[in-house]
Amino acid sequence: MTDYTVEFVGTGEEITVSDKQTILKRCLEEGIAQEYSCRVGMCLACSAEIVEGEVAQPAARGLTEEEREDYALTCMARPLSDLKIDRGKYPPSIEDDTTSDASAEPAAADD
């Protein structure tokens, strides 16, 4: 078991997280306010941009493969190195889901 330092950009907060523990779980233990909802890697409420470092998050189903390199779901992410993360930063796929067919005309109903 290895411990890593997780620094939260812009807050001055820093915690030590084991490679066997999620960042969210450690935040809750330390009393650090971290947004979350589902705790199973789907809702993206706990999303953070990875500024420096690496995480393992194989069960982060809410992120695309490309997004897993730049974003962490703190409910799933376990550190693989010391980290700097920026909480409350969301991946581009959130925007894609809400705007993908906004300008499309609704299909005409068959009578």
- Domains of the chain by residue range: 3-91
List the chain pLDDT tens, one digit each, 111 residues: 999 999 999 999 999 999 999 999 999 999 998 888 998 888 999 999 999 999 999 888 889 889 999 999 999 999 999 999 999 899 988 765 444 444 444 445 554
Non-local (6+) Cβ contacts of 39 within 8 A are 24, 75
Please answer whether residues 70 and 91 qualify as being in contact, where contact means their C-beta atoms are separated by less than 8 angstroms.
yes
Say what the pLDDT of residue 68 is.
92
Q: Under CATH, which number does the domain 3-91 receive?
A: 3.10.20.30
The model carries a pTM of 0.80
